[in-house]
Amino acid sequence: MTDNLNGDSILTGNGHRNTRKRRAVIKALSESGKPVTAEEIYLSLINSGDSVCISTVYRTLDFLFSENIIKKMRFNDNESACYEINRNEHSHKLVCRGCRKTISLDVCPLSEFEDKLKKETLFNITGHNLEIFGYCPDCNSESSLI
Amino acid sequence: MTDNLNGDSILTGNGHRNTRKRRAVIKALSESGKPVTAEEIYLSLINSGDSVCISTVYRTLDFLFSENIIKKMRFNDNESACYEINRNEHSHKLVCRGCRKTISLDVCPLSEFEDKLKKETLFNITGHNLEIFGYCPDCNSESSLI
DNA sequence: TTAGTTGCAAATCGTTTGCATCAAG
DNA sequence: CTTGATGCAAACGATTTGCAACTAA
pTM for this one? 0.76
Sheet of strand A36-37: strand arrangement: A36-37, A82-85, A70-73
Listed in order, strand segments (DSSP E) in chain B are 36-37, 70-73, 82-85, 92-96, 102-105, 124-135
A-chain CB neighbours of B72 within 8 Å are 76-77
Q: Do B132 and A124 touch (CB under 8 A)?
A: no
Nucleotides of D under 7 A from a protein CB: 3-10, 13-18, 23-25
Distance (Å, whole) CA A4 – CA B146: 34
Mean pLDDT across chain A, nearest whole number? 82
Each residue's pLDDT tens digit, B2-47: 344 444 567 777 789 999 999 999 999 999 888 999 999 999 999 9
Q: Which of B35, B42, B135 shows the shortest CA–CA distance to B79?
A: B35
3-state SS record for B18-34:
CCHHHHHHHHHHHHCCC
Distance (Å, whole) CA A25 – CA A19: 10
Buried b (16+ CB within 10 A) or exposed e, A76-98: eeeeebbbbbeeeeeebebbbbe
C15: residue with closest CA to C1': A58
Residue B81 three-state SS = coil
Sheet of strand B124-135: strand arrangement: A102-105, A92-96, A124-135, B124-135, B92-96, B102-105
Q: What is the pLDDT of residue A106?
A: 78
Nearest to A109 among B103, B113, B129 (CB): B113
Identify the closest residue of chain A to B125 by CA–CA distance. Answer: A134
A7 touches chain B (CB under 8 A): no
Highest mean pLDDT among A62-71, A125-134, B81-90, B93-102: A62-71
Spanning CA of B54 to C1' of D17, the rounded length in angstroms is: 13
Nearest to B109 among A74, A110, A129 (CB): A110
Q: What is the pLDDT of residue A98?
A: 58
Nearest to A113 among B74, B97, B109 (CB): B109
Q: What is the pLDDT of residue A145?
A: 45
Residue A14 falls in which region: left (phi positive, over 0), alpha (psi -120 to 50) or beta = left
**B contact residues 89-128, partner A, Cβ 8 Å cutoff:** 94, 96-97, 103, 105, 109-110, 113-114, 117, 121-128
Each residue's pLDDT tens digit, A95-123: 776 555 678 787 888 888 899 889 989 99
Residue B67 three-state SS = coil
B-chain CB neighbours of A78 within 8 Å are 81
| Residue A110 beta carbon within 7 A of nucleic strand D | no
- Contacting residues for A97 by C-beta, under 8 A, at least 6 apart: A133, A134, A135, A139, B126
Mean pLDDT across chain B, nearest whole number? 83
